[in-house]
Structure formats: C-alpha cells, structure tokens
Amino acid sequence: MSNIRLENITKRFREVTALNDVTFTIKDGEFFVLLGPTGAGKTTTLRVIAGLEKQDSGHVYFDAELSDQIPPAERDVAFVFQQYSLYPNMSVYENLAFPLRSPLRQTPEAEIKTRIHHAAEKLRISHLLERKTGKLSGGEMQRVSIGRAIVREPRVFLMDEPLSNLDAKLRESLRVELKHIQKTQNSTTVFVTHDQIEALTMADRIAVLDEGHILQIGTPFDIYDRPATTAVAQLVGTPKINLLPTVRQNGSLVVQNSTVQINTPAGGVPEEVLLGVRPEDVKLTENGRFNGTVALIEPLGVETILHIQAGGQTLLSIVPGATTHRLNEAVRFDVSETHLHFFDAQGVRVQSG
C-alpha cells in the first residue's frame, strides 16, 4: 500500500483540456473518490495515475518516488474497469490468475491457487471459478474483476465506475461489500464515479471535479455540509439543495418573490447572495415563520418530498413517510438557521459564522 501525489497535472486532448493543473494527495489506506459529471476529467486522472495516459505537464509520485517514466506494468496498480475487462476466452480462475502469471510477477502456481481461493472466498465467487466469464451475470462479472485486482495485492486499486453498469439493487449491495472489503484490507483505493450516493457512502475523502478543475476535496461530511460552490452543493444530495436568490434589506436577507426572509448571517455577506437550504432543513411546523402551499407530494416510502410554493419560489422539503399533508394545503414552515449555505454571485461559498 502506498500514498499517491499528483502535482500540477495538466492533460490536453487536441484542443480540449481534460485536466487543468490538478494537485492532490491520496493517503495510504484511504478510499478516495473522484466525483463529477461526464467530461469532468475523473477517468483521465485515474488513467494518468495508472500510466495509461501520459500527462502533458506535472508529476505523479508513488510514495514520494517520481513515477512519470514508469510504464503501467511496473507501477503495481490494479485497474477495475466499468465493463469488458474480463477475458471471455478464459475461465474465471484463469482470469484471476492472469495478472499473477505475468512475466513481471511469475508467481508460482501453488501460490496463485492460494491467493485465488482466498480472494474468491472474500468475494463469494468460489463456486464460479471453473465457469467461462461469458456465462456470468453482470454482478458476478464485476466481482471477478474486483477479484482480479485483489489477488494482485497491488499498491493501489484504481476503479473506474465499476458499478455503473449494474442494476440498482445490485449496485446497492456491491457498494456495501466493496466498502467492507476496502476497510478490512485497508487498501489505498481511487474510485471514479458520477453517482453522488456512491461517493457519499463509500469515500473517506471525495474530490469533486468539473471541467478539469478540482472544485473541492473533503470528507463526505465536508462536502455535504460545507459545499465549496453551488455546483458541488447541487451535485451532492437528493433531492437537490434549494438554491434561492436573495437581496439584502434592512439587515435581513429576503428571498426574491417569496415570503422567506432570514437574518443576515454574522460576518456579513455580499449584496447579492444565493441562499442554499437542504430539503431536510426545511421543516414544517405549525408556528413556522413562513407560509406556503403544498404544490406537489412525492411519497418515497420512508420519506416524502413536499414541494412548497412560497410566493414565486418553490422549496423542497423532506418529511417523514407517513405524512398527512394534502395537495394545495396551506402550510407554515421554517428553515434551521444553523444549516444554511450562502454563495456569492459567482457561486462560491461565503464563509460565515
């Protein structure tokens, strides 16, 4: 296991800048998630770490050792792809043995066998070892792919959206398993995803990327509770954060076209501020300061999303599943002032309090 440092990495594909001066360090034993929309540069970052892509400038260090010139085979990293990387003409066992039999490792067959059985046990694929990979289900295939990485015992695991081709139920269960395995092995893992829930649930730390830039790096709690920009705030959390344009009036912030108005936070904010409120922080109470009407009810079972029309603005609120609210009902609500987010006109978080 080891730590990885990327220093001022820039990568261009013809006219497109995929990565723009990206710098960060992944700690030893950490589950590090690169989160961002399509085209953010997450996969390119992963490929630069693996050596499958050569950066135009900047450096990659493994344990403080400069690794720019080291070919992929010698970096001792394991790569799990979104799909396709199992060899269809080999059995599961042969697939798992393939990296160990490489000319670089030439592991003795006896040890290969032990390692494979150990990994198969951990991933619950022992019964599949003799199967051809073409006959496996999607979930089984991805388990084998992960198994092929585990048998290597590499310095670092690189995973490129390994769960995104699976159906929702399978994704949920593999997510938990993968996290469990990572925690028990304490393996340094870099995991790429566009799915915020994967990032939140699995990561020790998340790096949010957009258009080749890092927007924020932090723990899931940091990212969720203190998003650095509106883009991060909107990317993380479902339903999405309420973002409301406000103006300052007599010491308070008034949400445009609405009844909502709050005290200007200590420390001061600019003239124009975007107010961010997570749906779970919009609370319906009988003596709430603001009023509105229920415009839409989305029952999700465990909880219900209420769309509350307050003047020209609509706020989303999460309430418990068994709600008695009716459509078009007049309601009173409050926002908890301790959990508010403020962003300036450029969408950058305004530090306060």
Partner 1 sequence: MATIELKQVEKKFGESYAVKPLDMTINSGEFIVLLGPSGCGKTTTLRMISGLEAVTSGNILFDGKDVTWLHPSARDIAFVFQFFALYSHLSARENIAFPLQAQGVKREEINQRVKAVAEMLKIEHVLNARPGALSGGDQQRVALARALVRQPAAFLMDEPLGALDAEFRESMRAEIKQLHLKQNATTVYVTHDQVEAMAMGDRIVVMSNAVVQQAATPSEVYHNPANLFVARFIGSPGMNLIQGTYQAGKIQLPGSNVMTVPEAWKQTLDSKLPADGKVIVGFRPEAVEVAADGEIHSTTYASDLHGGYTMLHLQLDRDVIVHARAAREMRYQLSETVRFNVQPNMVRFFHPETEAALQNGSHTT
Partner 2 sequence: MMANQTYQAQSPVNFSTRVDKVGRRPMIASAIKGIVAIIIAFIMLIPVIWMGMTAFKSLSDAVSVPPKVFFTPTVEGFVNLFTQQRQLTDAEVAQYQERTDLNWAEQLVLQRQKTIIGQSQFAGQLLNSLIIAGASTIFSVIFAVLSAYAFSRFEIPGKDDLLFFILSQRMLPAVVVTVPIFLMYRQLGLYDTHIGMIFLYTSFNLSFAVWLLKGFIDEIPKEYEEAALVDGYTRLQAFRKVVLPQAVTGIAATTVFSLIFSWNEYAFALMLTSDRARTAPPSIPLILGTGGIEWSTIAAGSMLFLIPVVIVTFILRKHLLRGVTFGAIRKG
Report the interface residues with partner 2, using CB under 8 A. 50-52, 71-75, 77-79, 81-85, 87-89, 98-99, 102-105, 124, 139, 148, 152, 158, 169-170, 172-173, 176-177
**Binding to partner 1 in span 306-335, by CB under 8 A:** 307, 318, 321-322, 327
Residues 262-281 that bind partner 1 (CB under 8 A): 278-280
Of 179, 205, 341, 349, the one binding partner 1 (CB under 8 A) is 179
Dihedral sign, CA of 168, 172, 173, 178? positive
* Phi, psi for residue 212 in degrees, rounded to 5: 85, 0
Least distance (Å) from partner 2 to the CB of residue 49? 10
User: Rounded distance, CA 108 to CA 124, Å?
Assistant: 24
- Our finding on whether 1 is near partner 1 (CB under 8 A) is no
Is residue 243 within the footprint of partner 1 (CB under 8 A)? no
Query: For residues 280-309, which are near partner 1 according to CB under 8 A?
Result: 280, 295-296, 298-302, 305, 307
Instruction: Determine the Cα–Cα distance for residues 297 and 316; give it in Å rounded to an integer.
Output: 10
Q: How far is the CB of 61 from partner 2 (least distance, A)?
A: 18
Q: Are 341 and 277 in contact (CB under 8 A)?
A: yes
88 binds, among partner 2, partner 1, none (CB under 5 to 8 A by kind): partner 2
DSSP 279: G
Closer of 51 and 279 to partner 1 (Cβ): 279
Stretches 84-92, 155-163, 230-238, 250-258: which one binds partner 1 (CB under 8 A)? 230-238
Q: Which does 236 bind (CB under 5 to 8 A by kind): partner 2, partner 1, none?
A: partner 1
Tokens of 157: 């695991």
Distance of CA 232 to the CA centre of its chain: 11
CA 321 to chain centre: 26
173 binds partner 1 (CB under 8 A): yes
Per-residue tokens: 210: 């957009």
Choose among 284, 278, 203, 285: nearest CA to 242: 278
Taking CB within 5 to 8 Å according to partner kind, which of partner 2, partner 1, none is near residue 201?
A: partner 1
Distance CA 330, CA 310 (A): 10
| 205 part of the interface to partner 1, by CB under 8 A | no
Instruction: Please give the helix or strand (H or E) that residue 145 lies within, else none.
Output: helix 138-152
129 binds partner 1 (CB under 8 A): no
State the minimum distance, in angstroms, from the CB of residue 169 to partner 2: 7
Residue 24 is encoded by which pair of tokens? 């960060």
Integer Rg of the chain from CA: 24
Among 23, 25, 37, 114, binds partner 1 (CB under 8 A): 37
Pairing of strands 205-210, 213-218: antiparallel
Rounded least distance, CB 282 to partner 1, Å: 11
Q: Which is nearer to partner 2, 139 or 288 (CB)?
A: 139
- b or e along 11-27 (b: 16 or more beta carbons within 10 Å of the residue's beta carbon)? beeeeebbbeebebebe
Please identify, among the stretches 22-30, 59-67, 169-177, 330-338, the one whose residues bind partner 1 according to the rule CB under 8 A: 169-177
